[in-house]
A = this chain, B = another copy of it.
Amino acid sequence: MVAVNRQVLLASRPQGAVFADNFRIVDAALPSIGAGDVLVRNEWLSIDPYMRGRMSDAKSYVPPVQIGEVMVGQTVGEIVESADSRFAPGDKVLTQLGWQLYGVAKADEVRKIETSHVPTSYYLGLLGMPGMTAWFGLLDIGQPKAGETVVISAASGAVGSVVGQLAKLRGCRAVGIAGGPAKCEYVVDELGFDACVDYKRGALYDDLRSACSNGVDVDFENVGGEVLDTTLRVMNRYSRIVLCGLIAEYNATEPYGYKRLRSVLVKRIRMQGMIVFDWKHRYDEAIAGLSRYFAEGKLKYRESVTEGIDNAPQALIGLLRGENFGKQLVKLA
């Protein structure tokens, strides 16, 4: 059997929304490995909002994907071949191999994962970047105190769903914002948030106001745009905004014009941007905490699985439209 390495390349940079023709699918030869390398067969690909940023050449916190390069992304898979004594074929590993079926990584950049208690794919979500983003963003920046109200936008998503559950575990009132009744029901009935506001109803301010009768002490912001600008109206004095994502802006050709910045002054709000990489030295702490809550049955988690690498572009396009429901993954093998 000759394995073929199917890859998704960036074909062109999107102007506004992402379309299928921004990608090109190719079959490449299986890469070969050198000393200290491992060859990995990717099993799961994580699809995340930040990928929209990497498709663009606007200045950001990391360089963009170049045209003709394999799209970036976090992956979990199985070692097929190893030229490093720490890894053997069959080991499950967490990697950054991108949108392709196989990849070669330096053994130093690969992390072995423990899959006896949790599914492999969870290392891309609950125990991966989204879970850790929720953990450090809420606890380190949001600093919620028991009894406070925490609002979470994109509440049914990979990050938001964990944030709200952690907020509840800390004794807070958790209020989600999500699109459509199905997601809102899930957020309240399954995840245990106290309330969830459907922004698609078109009455965000009134709905937020009535769901947060004591105002908002922490806003964990994944969406931005109108959602953030409206949330600013219900923030309390000395409240905190964890600026984690601005998905509402990613596909826009013009940035949103925020009109409520004055609230930050008047209410002495602290707004802080976050990228989870800044907590790299503390990842173990988050994984331990999240694993413990999960083992105790205190954290629920949902995945939205797209089958096959050929459908990866559609998975990202859907995610950017809010069509996913829980952590978006592509099953590669």
Which residues of A approach B to under 8 Å, CB–CB? 59-61, 224, 228, 237, 243-246, 249, 254-275, 278
Contact = CB atoms under 8 A, between A and B. Distances in A.
Contacts of A228: 261
19 contacts: A61-B266, A224-B261, A228-B261, A243-B265, A244-B265, A246-B265, A249-B262, A255-B260, A258-B259, A263-B273, A264-B272, A264-B273, A265-B273, A265-B274, A266-B275, A268-B278, A270-B270, A270-B273, A271-B272
A273 B268 contact: yes
B265 A259 contact: no
Contacts of A269: 272-273
Q: Which 5 A-B pairs have the closest CB atoms?
A: A257-B257, A265-B273, A255-B259, A258-B258, A268-B273
A58 B255 CA distance: 27
Given A249-B262, A262-B249, A262-B255, A273 B278 contact: no
Scoring A244, A266, A278 by chain B CB atoms within 10 A of each residue's CB, the highest score goes to: A266
Contact of A271 (B249, B255, B259, B270): B270
Contacts of A259: 254-258
Contacts of A245: 265
Nearest to A264: B273
B224 A266 contact: no
Nearest to A255: B259
Contacts of A273: 263-270
Contacts of A264: 243, 271-273
